[in-house]
Amino acid sequence: MLTVFYILSAITLGTAFLTILSKNPIHSAIYLVLCFFSIAGHYLLFNAQFLAIVHIIVYSGAIMILMLFTIMLMNLNKEDEQNKSVLTRVAAAIALGLVAFILLATFIKAQPVIESYQVSGQDYQSIKVLGKVLLNEYMVPFEFASVLLLVSMIGAVLLSKKEHINS
């Protein structure tokens, strides 16, 4: 079981780095799909089959299809891309360093919130229990997430529209 975890972790990290480092946006999207599948494998190792299936359906299916359509609609070409100035690159490197430092400090200083765990005996793997929790206690964040996805999809379509110049 430990070797499967190491293999999945290597695939996850490798495809995540390839997603970032790839110059072609379509290749990046494919690497991201592979990363999502390996993360679903991690969920299976945690014995969370429902979460793994939902992860594959939602992220690898719906979100990646939306991203691919957005990439294709935007028609990204290298000829249209402007070169970034040295100041912009330095500012991006400094921002990356600061974020990495803050994340590292957070992980080092992090302490567990719950000192002891109490077992309630309730099966949280059940879809019925998960549905009740999601649609009762977390209804507002669930609806906010759906509205956010809808707005981002509409924004991507509006950004990709080409403006017609009247002459």
Given this model, what pLDDT does residue 75 score? 65
DSSP string computed for the chain: -HHHHHHHHHHHHHHHHHHHH-SSHHHHHHHHHHHHHHHHHHHHHTT-HHHHHHHIIIIIIIIHHHHHHHHHHHT--TTTPPPPPHHHHHHHHHHHHHHHHHHHHHHHH---S-SS-------TT-HHHHHHIIIIITHHHHHHHHHHHHHHHHHHHHHHPPPPPP-
Please give the pLDDT value at position 97: 93
The residue type at 67:
M
Q: What's the CATH number of domain 1-81, 1.20.120.1200, 3.30.70.330, 1.10.3720.10, 3.50.50.60? A: 1.20.120.1200
Pair 142, 135: CB distance under 8 Å: yes
The neighbour count for residue 35, using CB atoms within 10 Å, is 21
Length, in residues, of the chain? 167
CA–CA dist 95, 88 (Å, integer): 10
Write down the mean pLDDT value for the chain: 82
Q: What is the mean pLDDT of each run of 10 residues along the chain (167 residues)?
A: 93 93 84 92 88 86 75 64 78 92 87 71 72 83 85 78 61
The pLDDT of residue 111: 73
Phi, psi of 131 (to 5 degrees): -65, -40
Domain ranges of the chain: 1-81, 84-110, 124-162
